[in-house]
Amino acid sequence: MTLFLPFTLAKEEEIKRIPRIYLDLCIKPLVMSIKNVRLEVMQAIEPKVEGYINEFLIPAEKIWQPTDFLPNSQSDSFYDEVEKIRGEAKELGYDFWVTLVADTITEEALPTYESWLMDVEGIDQHNGKDNGWSKWVRAWTAEENRHGDVLNKYLYLSGRVNMREIEMTTQHLISDGFDIGTDRDPYKNFVYTTFQELATNISHKRVGKMARQKGNALLAKMCTIIAGDEMRHHLAYREFVKTIMGQDPDGMVLAFADMMKKKIVMPAHFLRESGGSIGEAFEQFSNCAQRLGVYTAQDYIDILKKLNAYWDIENLRGLSDEAEKARVYLMKLPDRLQRISERMQFTQDQHTFKWVEANGML
Ligand SMILES: [Fe+2]
Ligand SMILES: [Fe+2]
């Protein structure tokens, strides 16, 4: 193995000098097999995915739908219910609306996430409709789709936000795509989704709590039920990672550490307002969320600690030297981030977003 390994790292010109027959018979299969470990692991787990779908996702007939929480437009009481929503919405402040709008837009960019996941190695939508992984991605997308749907309709009825500006931002975000640093690697993608699902659980849950404190029961219910979905998704993705960890601990630990070195960026990190440049609105929104306490640097650290604990990074043994270094890095990272976060400062200056008119309430 070590004899051939340097060739896997060789430059193109060097490979050209290797006799063709030697390349075809000896080197190519070896390089392929190193590259395909992930594919093999994904294929080995694939028969279990049907079980994950049954355990962690809920069929359309049994799960909540947006209309369960919104005024029924076929009912005579529709206008009264809308009036109630509009009245209650007046109690909510500026940072709250900005955060809710950005959370909604993040959910609405689902086409980006589905197309990204469908392209991940091992999630093969073309290899028969019954491939477990692609079935998972479709079923997960179908659940997620309800989040943007219910929040968008709520925002529209609330009368507190500029829907056209929101719609333009959503169109920009989908069109701009994202780059979450995972490439097509299933290991890195599952670390990312595990992390993100818990982050969205936290933020929807807190928004729901704030809505309830301001007497906005309907919005509180919506956000809480969305948070419940995100938690189920989180539990599923962390299970995928745990299962992979059992098959390829070296590869999984390295992928986890690599993602944490790059930092887990938010899926809406390219957020922009109409006429703005990519990512400009994201920083302003993050300040709002941090100020409001909806999603903070401390949450990021706490999520990392939970992942380290669930995947039992502390007690993993028998790793390669490189993976062992990655393991030690992961164990030390929460304390390191804690020290950094204590020095972090966030602006209290409120940016005025085109999505929400200034109303003087934080
Ligand atoms: Fe969601
Ligand atoms: Fe989710």
- pLDDT tens digits, one per residue of 93-106: 888 999 999 999 99
Range 345-357 average pLDDT: 82
Q: How far, in Å, from the CA of 161 to the mean position of ligand 2?
A: 24
Q: How far, in Å, from the CA of 331 to the mean position of ligand 2?
A: 26
In the set 99, 169, 200, 296, the catalytic residue is 200
Position 127 scores a pLDDT of 76
Q: What is the 3-state secondary structure (H, E, C) of the chain?
A: CCCCHHHHCCCHHHHHCCCHHHHHHHHHHHHHHHHCHHHHHHHHHHHHHHHHHHHHCCCCCCCCCHHHCCCCCCCCCHHHHHHHHHHHHCCCCHHHHHHHHHHHHHHHCHHHHHHHHHCCCCCCCCCCCCCHHHHHHHHHHHHHHHHHHHHHHHHHHHCCECHHHHHHHHHHHHHHCCCCCCCCCHHHHHHHHHHHHHHHHHHHHHHHHHHHHCCCHHHHHHHHHHHHHHHHHHHHHHHHHHHHHHHCHHHHHHHHHHHHHHCCCCCCCCCCCCCCCCCHHHHHHHHHHHHHCCCCHHHHHHHHHHHHHHCCHHHCCCCCHHHHHHHHHHHHHHHHHHHHHHHCCCCCCCCCCCCECCCCCC
Non-local CB neighbours of 280 within 8 Å, separated by 6+ positions: 271, 272, 273
Instruction: Give residue-wise pLDDT tens across range 291-311.
Output: 889 999 999 999 999 999 999
Position 80 scores a pLDDT of 97
Task: Identify the band that residue 287 occupies on the pLDDT scale cut at 50, 70 and 90.
Answer: confident
Cβ contact 195:245 at 8 Å: no
Q: How far, in Å, from the CA of 46 to the mean position of ligand 1?
A: 24
Q: Is 61 a catalytic residue?
A: no
Position 351 pLDDT exceeds 90: no
Q: Is 229 a catalytic residue?
A: yes
User: Between these two residues, 192 and 291, which has the higher pLDDT value?
Assistant: 192
- In whole angstroms, give the CA distance from residue 189 to residue 192: 5
Position 22 scores a pLDDT of 61
Cβ contact 51:135 at 8 Å: no
9-18, 109-118, 288-297, range with greatest mean pLDDT: 109-118
User: Between these two residues, 19 and 173, which has the higher pLDDT value?
Assistant: 173
Which ligand has its closest atom nearest to the C-alpha of 108?
1
Task: Identify the band that residue 122 occupies on the pLDDT scale cut at 50, 70 and 90.
Answer: very high
Q: Is 233 a catalytic residue?
A: yes
In the set 95, 99, 103, 147, the catalytic residue is 147
Q: How far is CA 241 from CA 121, 197, 255, 333, in A?
A: 15, 14, 10, 19
Question: By C-alpha distance, which of 254, 241, 247 is closest to 320?
Answer: 254
In the set 95, 144, 149, 185, the catalytic residue is 144
Torsion angle (degrees, nearest 10) of CA 353, 169, 60, 200: -50
In the set 197, 248, 273, 299, the catalytic residue is 197
In the set 107, 121, 185, 299, the catalytic residue is 107
User: Between these two residues, 1 and 239, which has the higher pLDDT value?
Assistant: 239
In the set 95, 121, 229, 250, the catalytic residue is 229
In the set 116, 233, 234, 299, the catalytic residue is 233
Non-local CB neighbours of 66 within 8 Å, separated by 6+ positions: 146, 149, 150, 153
Q: Is 147 a catalytic residue?
A: yes
Instruction: Give residue-wise pLDDT tens across range 58-115.
Output: 999 999 999 999 999 999 999 999 999 999 999 898 889 999 999 999 999 999 999 9
Q: Is 116 a catalytic residue?
A: no
Task: Identify the band that residue 1 occupies on the pLDDT scale cut at 50, 70 and 90.
Answer: very low
Task: Identify the band that residue 33 occupies on the pLDDT scale cut at 50, 70 and 90.
Answer: low
Q: Is 133 a catalytic residue?
A: no
Q: Is 280 a catalytic residue?
A: no
124-138, 288-302, 309-323, range with greatest mean pLDDT: 309-323
161, β-bridge pairs: 356
Q: How far, in Å, from the CA of 188 to the mean position of ligand 2?
A: 17
Position 25 pLDDT exceeds 70: no
What residues have their beta carbon closer than 5 A to ion ligand 2? 197, 230, 233
Question: What domains are there in the chain, each with its CATH number?
Answer: 1-35 (no CATH), 37-343 (1.10.620.20)
Task: Identify the band that residue 10 occupies on the pLDDT scale cut at 50, 70 and 90.
Answer: very low
Cβ contact 358:303 at 8 Å: no
Q: How far is CA 191 from CA 187, 307, 334, 356, in A?
A: 6, 9, 16, 34
Mean of per-residue pLDDT scores for the chain: 90
In the set 46, 230, 248, 250, the catalytic residue is 230
Range 339-345 average pLDDT: 86
Q: Is 143 a catalytic residue?
A: no
Range 308-330 average pLDDT: 98
Which ligand has its closest atom nearest to the C-alpha of 194?
2
Q: How far, in Å, from the CA of 21 to the mean position of ligand 1?
A: 51
Position 228 pLDDT exceeds 60: yes
Position 197 pLDDT exceeds 70: yes
Position 313 pLDDT exceeds 90: yes
Q: How far, in Å, from the CA of 10 to the mean position of ligand 1?
A: 43
Cβ contact 351:291 at 8 Å: no
pTM, to two decimals: 0.88
**CB neighbours (10 Å) of residue 289?**
22
Position 135 pLDDT exceeds 90: yes
Q: Is 312 a catalytic residue?
A: no
Cβ contact 165:273 at 8 Å: yes
Position 3 scores a pLDDT of 29
Position 20 scores a pLDDT of 64
Hey, what amino acid is at 65?
Q
